[in-house]
């Protein structure tokens, strides 16, 4: 796919921004659902990168021991000259000053009946204990919550999350402490709900908590098909849409069906975005590691060591301890955060990746790359192309 196709998609996606949508307001009305910052203020989007609990064999790499609760945070309101992720308060498990807890408070409140007028969809290929899953379903994790006017879409890498819904208290799984994880939240107008539902249908997600008012199911055909579990395995096996977020930021969304039978990074993202990619994803186990294909026009190379700058600290760990899924362009400022790994076993699994062009966020992830398995990162940057 060529850049002119991508540009045409962007032009189609641009629609007027809803008047009255305040970036600084605190959303209390269930008609207006937003991603929220650590102080409960509305933001167009945010990214969280949780550090792993430091393995004893790797403590020599650390400047201090990591507990698996620390995280870096960045959102649409942060300064353009930011040189590091913001310190997330060092504990993703606490609900105080926690962007994730603020954003998801509606599905953690006491009664599910309080959400009767909301659309909410909670899905995870590794659902909480006691809930069924299937390896034939998509390798995809996320949360969708929409009110009458606006809503949010979270794409993340955290197994068994969210759990303990409608208990009156935020919860983050202790099982996620061991590994690094990424989370992206984006706020959209209600008119993007149908496209988001179409992306979920393409992925075949494991949904374990979901509800939608009858009126919205009638209005949005893709949403109704999704709730009827009428998934979409037909060609094209990849859905690519440019979704304009609430304040105008363009996100390119890629949904892959398992019938594509390809790596989403080398087979879809790199040629569509027309860039070489550095990718961090889970590569442990017997899933089948992938290596750069020198015949590809755009190369995809795996990151093997991370040194994340968070406030005044540098948190460093090995890729084997990182369950996150992110990619950045080499010569471009593309940043992608998703749910699917770069392994052979993922060829036949569905999944989602959200990409945006953002020079500051790109720079933060680029600084976090310390080591690649086969190539010197500095040499690759100097050459300009991965060869």
pLDDT at 110: 76
Q: Are the beta carbons of 53 and 47 closer than 8 angstroms?
A: no
CA 264 to chain centre: 14
CB atoms within 10 A of CB 221: 12
Residue 385's pLDDT band (cuts 50, 70, 90): very low
| Burial (CB count <10 Å: 0-12, 13-18, 19+), residue 178 | middle
**For 201-229, what is the mean pLDDT?**
97
pLDDT at 79: 94
pLDDT at 285: 67
Residue 64's pLDDT band (cuts 50, 70, 90): low
Pick from 317, 325, 336: nearest CA to 280: 325
d(CA 42, CA 38): 10
- Per-residue DSSP letter, 111: -
- Establish how many alpha carbons lie within 13 A of residue 209's alpha carbon, considering only the half-sphere containing its beta carbon: 24
Sign of CA dihedral 103, 108, 109, 111: positive
pLDDT at 58: 52
Residue 54's pLDDT band (cuts 50, 70, 90): confident
Pick from 148, 152, 174: nearest CA to 161: 174
Q: Are the beta carbons of 277 and 269 closer than 8 angstroms?
A: yes
pLDDT, mean over the chain: 87
Q: Are the beta carbons of 341 and 247 closer than 8 angstroms?
A: no
Residue 60's pLDDT band (cuts 50, 70, 90): low
d(CA 102, CA 62): 31
* pLDDT reading at 312 higher than 70: yes
DSSP states of 324-346: --EEEESSS-EEEEES--SBGGG
What six digits make up the tokens of 327?
């990619």
Looking at the chain, the whole-number percentage of residues with pLDDT higher than 90 is 72
Residue 373's pLDDT band (cuts 50, 70, 90): low
Sign of CA dihedral 267, 272, 273, 274: positive
**For 235-249, what is the mean pLDDT?**
98
**Which of 323, 358, 362, 372 is the catalytic position?**
323
Residue 30's pLDDT band (cuts 50, 70, 90): confident
**For 78-90, what is the mean pLDDT?**
89
- Establish how many alpha carbons lie within 13 A of residue 5's alpha carbon, considering only the half-sphere containing its beta carbon: 9
d(CA 21, CA 143): 22
* pLDDT reading at 14 higher than 50: no
Q: What is the pTM of this model?
A: 0.88
* pLDDT reading at 23 higher than 50: no
pLDDT at 57: 47
pLDDT at 50: 96
- Per-residue DSSP letter, 31: T
CB atoms within 10 A of CB 117: 14
Of 59-73, 134-148, 224-238, the range with the highest mean pLDDT is 224-238
d(CA 164, CA 209): 11
d(CA 313, CA 327): 23
| Whether residue 362 lies in the annotated active site | no
CB atoms within 10 A of CB 246: 26
**For 222-248, what is the mean pLDDT?**
98
d(CA 115, CA 192): 20
């Amino acid at each position: 796919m060529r850049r002119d196709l991508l540009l045409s998609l962007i032009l189609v996606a641009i629609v007027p921004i809803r008047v009255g949508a305040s970036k600084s307001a605190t959303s209390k009305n269930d008609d207006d659902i937003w991603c929220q910052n650590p102080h409960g203020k509305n933001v167009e989007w945010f990214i969280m990168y949780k550090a792993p609990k430091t393995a004893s064999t790797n403590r020599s790499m650390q400047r201090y021991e990591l507990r698996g609760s620390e995280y870096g945070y960045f959102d649409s309101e942060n300064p353009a000259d930011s040189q590091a992720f913001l310190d997330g308060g060092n504990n993703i498990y606490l609900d105080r000053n926690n962007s994730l807890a603020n954003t998801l408070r509606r599905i953690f409140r006491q009664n599910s009946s309080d959400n009767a007028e909301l659309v909410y969809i909670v899905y995870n290929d590794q659902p909480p204990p006691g809930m069924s899953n299937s390896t034939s379903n998509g390798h995809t994790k996320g949360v969708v919550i929409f009110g009458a006017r606006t809503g949010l879409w979270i794409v993340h890498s955290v197994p068994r999350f969210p759990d303990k819904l409608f208990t009156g208290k935020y919860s983050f799984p202790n099982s996620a402490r061991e590994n690094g994880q990424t989370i992206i939240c984006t706020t959209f107008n209600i008119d993007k709900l149908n496209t988001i539902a179409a992306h979920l249908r393409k992925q075949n997600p494991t949904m374990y908590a979901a509800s939608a008012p009858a009126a919205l199911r009638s209005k949005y055909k893709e949403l109704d098909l999704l709730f009827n579990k009428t998934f979409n395995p037909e060609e094209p096996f990849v859905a690519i849409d440019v979704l304009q977020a609430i304040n105008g930021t363009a996100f390119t969304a890629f949904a892959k069906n398992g019938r594509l039978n390809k790596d989403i990074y080398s087979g879809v993202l790199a040629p569509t975005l027309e860039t070489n990619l550095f990718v961090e994803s889970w590569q442990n186990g017997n899933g089948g590691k992938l290596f750069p294909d020198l015949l590809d026009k755009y190369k995809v190379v795996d990151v093997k060591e991370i040194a994340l700058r968070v406030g005044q600290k540098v948190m460093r760990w090995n890729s084997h301890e990182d369950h996150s899924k992110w990619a950045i362009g080499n010569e471009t400022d593309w940043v992608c955060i998703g749910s699917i790994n770069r392994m052979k076993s993922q060829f036949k699994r569905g999944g989602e990746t959200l990409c945006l062009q953002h020079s500051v966020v790109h720079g933060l992830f680029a600084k976090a790359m310390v080591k690649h398995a086969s190539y010197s990162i500095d040499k690759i940057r100097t050459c300009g192309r991965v060869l």
